[in-house]
Structure 1
Amino acid sequence: MDYGIIGNCQYNALIDTYGDVVWLCWPRLDSSFAFGGLLDPMKGGRFRISPGDGTRGKQNYLANTNVLRTVFETDKGSFEVIDFAPRFILFERYHKPTKLFRIVRPLTGEPVVKVDLSPTYDYGRITPKPVFGSNHISFKDLPLELRLTTNASLNMISERRPMVLRQPLYFVLSYGEPLEANLIHTSKEFFERTCAYWRTWVKHCYLPLEYQESVIRSALVLKIHQFEDTGAIIASTTTSIPEAQGTERNWDYRFCWMRDAMFSLMALQRLTQFEELEGFVLYLRNLTETSQRYRERLQPVYGISGEAQLTERILGHLSGYQNHKPVRIGNQAFEHLQHDVYGELVLAISQLFLDQRFMDGDDNVPHSLLTHLVDRIETYLEAKDAGLWEFRGIAQLHTFTLLMHWAGAIMACQIAEAHRLDELHERATRLHRQARELIDTRCWNDRIQAFTIAADVEALDASLLMMINLGYLGADDPRANLHLDAIASGLSAGDGLIHRYTMVDDFGSTENAFLICSFWLAEAYARLGRREEGEALFRKLLSLGNPLGLYSEDLDPATGKLWGNFPQTYSHVGLINAAFALARKDSGLGFFHPSRFRH
């Protein structure tokens, strides 16, 4: 997947090495694409800036930014394309417009450049006609006007004719509000201010001593997957990239999974970035305090404005990623029962109760929210669910769900101690002990010497490496290494990579390695003192990202090809956590100290 991503916490875009915007949804992360060649090269529209002769460029990011540079070398000369989504402070707020800036600059000789612009909408059903102004092309057959403002020849663009590049060309594509200011000055200013914003953000990150380049790139990926307007954090930028060659495991990941958000937030907190947490808590409060329905049961996934209904639909008119159908929008997972969400949310918001920097006396996170989450842990402690991997036809008492009940209850104990909430402390203590008893008595399997995917079920689950990474199994527990080795061996996909599980699910057997699971394995090696094994696996994983250091969800062990929605926040969270565990002595996840509660 040779794509680079740019974004500004309002929208994201993917750009390939041919200079083509293959994915851009406007005005929001979950809107229809304006450019969707990723899922249909014929109907998906195009915004390509390239030599026009099929030459591929080489991509890199400007250091410590989400600004992408693509360099094209031709026999007539070379040029670069700078792509960015503006983001910086303006009038004491973040300026993040639905505008795509593309700056084309000659480097050597007199290169030839060709611009191909053909937007679409309603997932390829609408092809708007261009209307020409004096210095712009507008497309008005859309919910809002889409306009290209440029100093390039409009006729050469509309006729798709090559142009000799003697001076920089500037392209600003806007949706809704057009660019009315000076084109060149604004492009230069927005470029400089966007670069400065990202570099300042990175400077404020706490980083491990080693692996900094990879950690920085992963951190920048996580940041632009938060929809800042509401605080929601989406799982991935795309929909319907299949998990493996020839499969129909094609899902829409442009929504906010509570679990994914928790993992992303805890990774960002490890980097000492907390702004995202405050935004997500507002999103969570809007879910839990504005409707009685939400108070009864939290769904595992919501829309980025808190939409509860994410009805899954198939778009039969699109050919799909590399001709893999179906293309899906929406996600049936909103109907699932996934009870791990309550413990995960306690972990996600815990620092607002425990970190003095957030205790400003305004009760920004009321104790009622925490109490509600503990209530739900108690209600669903022994309830069967679809589990972490969202089995559509199987309900079990999943061990991972019990692990999250345990972790959430322990964190609630720590918060209750800090705030002298005796009744809550008593309840949470009872709950984490009950969860541990269920895990120890019903989920350990003597024959395979590991904890299994669900109570009384003999099958392995790679997510249970989190029993080590969360501290349920300490290095002094004789089961820890047995459990790790059983998963590493029983779920092996070869060369250190592992499957998430091997049991047959609703869609058959899984084929590819699930990348976050391999990162979990590297982290688990480190936490059990097996650093050499962990470092070897981690270095292997670092070599498997795309040339820009970006990861999707899955990887074909035989070919090394990335599959699944891209980029996948889960994978980048795994990279960050493994890097910290391997690079220095690491005490765990923030304020989470389970060792005090093991007995």
Structure 2
Amino acid sequence: MTKHTYDMGVVGNCAFLALIGTDTAVRWLCWPRFDSSFVFGSLLDERKGGEYSVRPVAADFSSKQYYVQNTNVLCTEITTADGSYRVTDFAPRFLQYERYYKPLMFIRKIEPLEGTPRVRVACRPVGEYGEQELTRRRSSNHIAFLGMEEEIRLTTNIPLTYVLDEEDFVLNETKYLVLTYGAPLEAPLESTAERFLVSTVAYWRQWVKSTSISNFHQTVVIRSALALKIHQYEDTGAIIAASTTSLPEAPGSTRNWDYRFCWMRDTYYILTAFNNIGHSEELERYFHFIANISTKVEDKYQPLYGIGGQSKLVEKELPLAGYLGNQPVRIGNDAYTHIQNDVYGQVLVALLPLYVDCRFQDPGRPTPLALVEESLRLIEATMDQPDAGLWEFRHIAQKHCYTYLFHWAGSHAALQVARSVGNAELEAKARRLLKVSQEHIEACFDAERGAYTNAIGSENLDASTIQLITMGYLDPNSERTKHHLAELEKELKTPEGLFYRYRHPDDFGTPETTFLICSFWYVEALACVGRLDEAVAEFEQLITYTNHLGLLSEDVDAKTGSQWGNFPQAYSHVGLVNAAYRIAKKLDKPNFVG
């Protein structure tokens, strides 16, 4: 079996994301939001997905794709027998009038590099996940695509006839394509596109300069940080798990899910990642998204929410061909109906800095203590309730060790808040729940194997229990920790150093691919227990599973190294950032930056 990789780059500006193939085709772009219908979606259906490309006429060509260093600006160079050209793709983002300018505007700059290459430009956006064909209206210097709520407009200095007829032409000077949703470009085309490009490159480079990153594999950490950044929907602060839907966890598995939502289970890891790279602005926006969700909760938190805070994310299947024929294609995610009780601890850990970190305290905007009290109440109410667990089993409910770990972590966070505000009643309750949570975690311990199982009364092991080590529940120097880690390695680790989430059957059979973030958790655990050389070696193996641009998928086939699952996966990049940080701190080199 050949190695499968996602040969695409991602661009974005915290308002939208686009995936561009090595042939310049825009394989995925949703407008006006991350979770809207695609306007270009050939990733899931070549026929219904529309097209936006600057392809060479020659069938025989080579391609090179790369990012402008330390930016989310993507370049694709195409070389044919006739000549070569470069397409520079970016979503404008920069500071203007004391706020970030991040329009629904996708800019493509096409430059001839050598010879006389012939190209063909196609632009055919669609609506309603390919069910709606848009009407074209030709104007003097642009093409309007009509039929959606707002107009999509292509402004270009390429003869419109060539674009409308998809006729090839010789590229002998620089051309520009500016695609907009809603507000169109009403400024000079060439000078504006160049100014936006220069400003966007400058913005991303300044953002990278302001990160706190060690010299340990700095390049891959920077790429992960940049990828993670554009998965934040800045308007509300939500961070999505991935920009895509229905890319299969393994071919033919039917594990095809919509990940364009904000998972509460990711909260702790995402906040840790942004904190580790020293970016408080993204932290604060995310805090306020979580706080806004918290004020709307009545009886329980959901495992995930929409990027606008919506709670109803009805799952349905679409009549699309699917990625490489993998069906079903789903939008929405039924996991919003699940019981997943670790979320209360996740929320408490997430909100903690608003109460105890001086960087986020604003005397003019007090953070209500009710948010902490309510989350702690929900921990108490669900302490003995089975749930779907971290991996969102659809028809299996257990009392999961991981859930109790976050009950423990959440109670610990509430205890810190109570101390900081001098609330004795809250402190007493937090202490009591801390103790009860610990008792439930210990009920998962299998003394015969010397390991913590995934749930009370279960014999199965689960990679999520690695977090008992990395979150400080277990003493990293204890024999119990060493035994627990050894048992996890024996059952869940592949010879390549990758980790399965679990190996027991679930609602869809036994998982076929490994889950990348579990492998990064393992690296962190190795660093925690002092096996630093192994941690470095494992980390260096894991970064070989990126695509040609340093982007990570959700899952990896251990035997072939193939990428599977939604892409790029923010969760995987979070894992990389946190593992690199943990190793760098342990190495404790004097050249640590930040």
User: How high is the TM-score relative to the length of structure 2?
Assistant: 0.96
Partner secondary structure for residue 260 of structure 1: helix
Paired position in structure 1 for 2:321: 319
Q: In the alignment, which of 1, 8, 18 is matched to residue 3 of structure 1?
A: 8
Paired position in structure 1 for 2:592: none
Q: Deviations over 1:260-285 (max 9, x none)?
A: 23321221111111112222232223
Paired position in structure 1 for 2:29: 24
Give aligned-pair identity as a percent.
Answer: 47
Q: Does 1:45 align with 2:50?
A: yes
Q: In the alignment, which of 53, 59, 63 is matched to residue 57 of structure 1?
A: 63
Paired position in structure 2 for 1:139: 145
Matched ranges for 1:276-287 at <5 A: 276-287=282-293
Q: Does 1:216 align with 2:222?
A: yes
CA distance in 1, matches of 2:57, 2:339: 50
Q: Deviations over 1:293-334 (max 9, x none)?
A: x1321111111111111110000x200010000000000001
CA distance in 2, matches of 1:249, 1:40: 18
Paired position in structure 1 for 2:310: 307
Aligned-residue RMSD, C-alpha: 1.3
User: Per-residue deviation at 1:505?
Assistant: 0.5
Amino acid across the alignment from 1:527: C
User: Per-residue deviation at 1:56?
Assistant: 4.3
Partner secondary structure for residue 403 of structure 2: helix
CA distance in 1, matches of 2:291, 2:584: 36
Q: Does 1:15 align with 2:17?
A: no
Paired position in structure 1 for 2:300: 297
Paired position in structure 2 for 1:374: 376
Partner secondary structure for residue 405 of structure 1: helix
8 A contact 1:44–1:120 mirrored in 2: yes
Paired position in structure 1 for 2:434: 432
Paired position in structure 1 for 2:280: 274
8 A contact 1:580–1:586 mirrored in 2: no
Q: Deviations over 1:548-576 (max 9, x none)?
A: 11111101112111000011111011101
- The farther-off stretch of 365-374 and 239-248 is 365-374
8 A contact 2:452–2:461 mirrored in 1: yes
Paired position in structure 2 for 1:390: 392
Q: Does 1:233 align with 2:234?
A: no
8 A contact 1:234–1:261 mirrored in 2: no
Amino acid across the alignment from 1:152: I
Paired position in structure 1 for 2:336: 334
- The farther-off stretch of 25-34 and 193-202 is 193-202
User: Per-residue deviation at 1:350?
Assistant: 1.6
8 A contact 1:17–1:56 mirrored in 2: no
Partner secondary structure for residue 459 of structure 1: coil
Paired position in structure 2 for 1:593: none
Give the ranges of 4+ consecutive aligned residues of structure 1 lying more than 3 Å apart after TM superposition.
none
Q: In the alignment, which of 240, 245, 252 is matched to residue 251 of structure 2?
A: 245
Q: Does 1:122 align with 2:122?
A: no
Amino acid across the alignment from 2:562: K
User: Per-residue deviation at 1:419?
Assistant: 2.6
Q: In the alignment, which of 256, 264, 267 is matched to residue 262 of structure 2?
A: 256
8 A contact 1:19–1:57 mirrored in 2: no
CA distance in 2, matches of 1:303, 1:183: 35
CA distance in 1, matches of 2:294, 2:350: 15
8 A contact 1:295–1:372 mirrored in 2: no
CA distance in 2, matches of 1:175, 1:302: 25
Amino acid across the alignment from 1:436: Q
User: Per-residue deviation at 1:362?
Assistant: 2.4
Amino acid across the alignment from 1:500: R
Q: Does 1:557 align with 2:573?
A: no
Amino acid across the alignment from 1:373: S
Runs of 5+ unmatched residues, structure 2 = 1-5, 589-594
CA distance in 2, matches of 1:422, 1:203: 43
Matched ranges for 1:545-584 at <5 A: 545-584=546-585
Paired position in structure 2 for 1:103: 109
- The farther-off stretch of 351-360 and 564-573 is 351-360
Partner secondary structure for residue 75 of structure 1: coil
Matched ranges for 1:509-528 at <5 A: 509-528=510-529
Q: Deviations over 1:101-130 (max 9, x none)?
A: 000111222222221111111000011132
Paired position in structure 1 for 2:591: none
Amino acid across the alignment from 2:39: A
CA distance in 1, matches of 2:208, 2:356: 25
Paired position in structure 1 for 2:3: none
Paired position in structure 2 for 1:410: 412
8 A contact 2:62–2:80 mirrored in 1: no
CA distance in 2, matches of 1:569, 1:418: 33
Amino acid across the alignment from 1:247: S
CA distance in 2, matches of 1:80, 1:243: 33
CA distance in 2, matches of 1:364, 1:251: 39
Matched ranges for 1:582-597 at <5 A: 582-585=583-586
User: How high is the TM-score relative to the length of structure 1?
Assistant: 0.95
User: Per-residue deviation at 1:208?
Assistant: 1.8
Q: 1:152 to 1:540 in 2, by over 3 A?
A: same
Q: Deviations over 1:358-388 (max 9, x none)?
A: 2221244222212221111121122110000
Paired position in structure 1 for 2:493: 492
User: Per-residue deviation at 1:287?
Assistant: 2.1
CA distance in 2, matches of 1:107, 1:349: 51
- The farther-off stretch of 388-397 and 418-427 is 418-427
User: Per-residue deviation at 1:446?
Assistant: 2.2
CA distance in 1, matches of 2:370, 2:58: 62
CA distance in 1, matches of 2:177, 2:530: 53
Amino acid across the alignment from 2:384: E
Q: Does 1:76 align with 2:82?
A: yes
CA distance in 2, matches of 1:220, 1:345: 25
8 A contact 2:231–2:243 mirrored in 1: yes
CA distance in 1, matches of 2:311, 2:62: 42
CA distance in 2, matches of 1:430, 1:306: 32
User: Per-residue deviation at 1:203?
Assistant: 1.1
CA distance in 2, matches of 1:364, 1:75: 65
Partner secondary structure for residue 438 of structure 2: helix
CA distance in 2, matches of 1:93, 1:494: 49
8 A contact 1:60–1:69 mirrored in 2: yes
CA distance in 2, matches of 1:559, 1:121: 36
Matched ranges for 1:172-191 at <5 A: 172-191=178-197
Paired position in structure 1 for 2:508: 507
Paired position in structure 1 for 2:118: 112
Partner secondary structure for residue 373 of structure 1: helix
8 A contact 2:527–2:586 mirrored in 1: no
Q: Deviations over 1:201-222 (max 9, x none)?
A: 1111111221111111111111
Paired position in structure 2 for 1:595: none
Partner secondary structure for residue 543 of structure 1: helix
Aligned length: 582
Q: 1:370 to 1:586 in 2, by over 3 A?
A: farther
8 A contact 2:500–2:518 mirrored in 1: yes
Q: 1:550 to 1:477 in 2, by over 3 A?
A: same
CA distance in 2, matches of 1:283, 1:582: 30
CA distance in 1, matches of 2:495, 2:63: 33
8 A contact 1:150–1:183 mirrored in 2: yes
CA distance in 2, matches of 1:362, 1:552: 42
